[in-house]
Amino acid sequence: MMRVLGLETSCDETGVAVYDSELGLLAHRLYSQVDLHADYGGVVPELASRDHVRKLIPLIKEVLAAAHTQPQEIDAIAYTSGPGLAGALMVGAITGRSLAYAWGVPAMGVHHMEGHLLAPLLESEKPDFPFVALLVSGGHSQLLRVDGIGCYQLLGESIDDAAGEAFDKVAKMLHLDYPGGPQVAKLALQGNANAFAFPRPMLDRPGLDFSFSGLKTAVLTAYQQTPDYDNKKADIAASFEAAIVDTLVRKCERALKQTGLKRLVMAGGVSANLRLRTQLKDLAQRKRWQVFYPSPAFCTDNGAMIAYAGCQRLLVGQQENLAVTVKPRWPMTSLAPVNSLNNL
Query: Residue positions in the annotated binding site for substrate?
Result: 135-139, 168, 181, 273
Query: Quick check: 236 and 249 in contact, CB under 8 A?
Result: no
Instruction: List residues forming the annotated binding site.
Output: 112, 116, 135-139, 168, 181, 273, 301
Instruction: List residues forming the annotated binding site for Fe cation.
Output: 112, 116, 301
Count Cβ atoms below 10 Å from residue 214 Cβ, excluding itself: 14
Query: Quick check: 15 and 300 in contact, CB under 8 A?
Result: no
- Looking at residue 2, its amino acid is M
Sheet holding 13-20, edge to edge: 24-32, 13-20, 3-8, 76-82, 107-111
Strands 107-111 and 76-82, bridge-based pairing: parallel
Q: In sequence order, what E strands does the chain have?
A: 3-8, 13-20, 24-32, 76-82, 107-111, 131-136, 141-148, 151-157, 263-267, 290-292
Rounded Cα distance, 232 and 229, in Å: 5
